[in-house]
A = this chain, B = another copy of it.
Amino acid sequence: MDDTVSEGSDVLLFLSRERTYLVRVRAGERFHTHKGFIDFDQVLGKRFGDVILSSMGVAFALFKPTPYDYVRKALRATQIIYPKDVALIVAYSGIGPGSRVVEAGTGSGALTSALASFVQPNGRVYSYEVRKEFCEQAAKNLARAGVDEYVVLRNADISQGISEPAVDAVVLDLATPWLVVKEAHGALKGGGHLVSFSPTIEQVVKTVGAMSVGFADVETVECLVRRMKIKAGSTRPEGVMRGHTGYISYGRKIFR
């Protein structure tokens, strides 16, 4: 059953915010942590939300992974995108169940799996990746996250052409997004959203410049998320925060 851990279930073992482990449960196996091992035979049949003890008596909660857990845990083969940025990209792109989305580059498939989880079951993500080895790794990650049936992986250079017509959104996480703006315009349906994520300001200036033709409502934002330490009597923001991940630029296609 869906709310119970069974053979082959993915489980997020939660010790603390900084210490979580995404594991696949197999009868007869163990998972070792610095706080002792977890005996999977004891995990089978437990409910998600249950708390179990490791061999050292340390408590771990059993959580069902969300798409964001997969994002956080995806192989670090490429610099992955942050959940906050995924959230804003989804918000700005108007993506939802049934959306047809083109994405590039696939990388490890972290953003891809998040997009796929929002467009399922009838939508599709067409994800372009020029490097063959990333394509293969992403295919594995998407299968593991259980969203591979909603994704079409294309081992191709997106700047050479987009095969899908009239898509709802194009999402770019590329080193040279400005080279793809014209292709994206051709692939989008009228009013469709182009969203681009870039770490540097020079990338943004070039991309937004390229969007000055054929797009309206063009906007660039950055998003800062600050964690709070909440404790009656000593509440304060956390001392260290992420100062930058990237800028998000977007616009909506107009016909001209």
Contact = CB atoms under 8 A, between A and B. Distances in A.
Interface of A: 3, 14, 17, 47-51, 61-64, 66-68, 83-84, 86-88, 90-92, 94, 96-97, 117-121, 166, 189-193, 199-202, 204-205, 208-209, 216-217, 219-228, 230-247, 249, 252-256
Contacts of A230: 204-205, 208-209, 220, 249
Contact of A87 (B14, B88, B119, B244): B88
Contacts of A239: 242-245
Given A61-B216, A87-B91, A243-B238, A255 B224 contact: no
Given A84-B223, A166-B3, A190 B48 contact: yes
A68 B49 contact: no
Contacts of A238: 243-244
B49 A192 contact: yes
Nearest to A237: B244
B255 A226 contact: no
A234 B202 contact: yes
A222 B220 contact: no
Contacts of A236: 199-201, 244, 246
Return the 9 tightest CB-CB contacts between A and B, nearest first: A49-B190, A241-B243, A66-B94, A87-B91, A237-B244, A48-B191, A87-B87, A220-B228, A208-B230
A86 to B, nearest CB: 7
Contacts of A226: 221-224, 243-244
Nearest to A118: B96
Nearest to A2: B189
A189 B191 CA distance: 39
Contacts of A244: 226, 236-239, 241
Given A49-B253, A90-B91, A204-B235, 7 more contacts: A3-B189, A87-B90, A88-B225, A201-B228, A221-B226, A221-B228, A223-B225
26 contacts: A3-B166, A14-B252, A48-B189, A61-B217, A61-B252, A83-B91, A84-B88, A87-B87, A87-B90, A96-B117, A97-B117, A97-B119, A199-B234, A201-B235, A202-B232, A202-B235, A204-B228, A221-B228, A222-B226, A237-B243, A237-B244, A238-B243, A239-B243, A240-B240, A240-B242, A241-B242
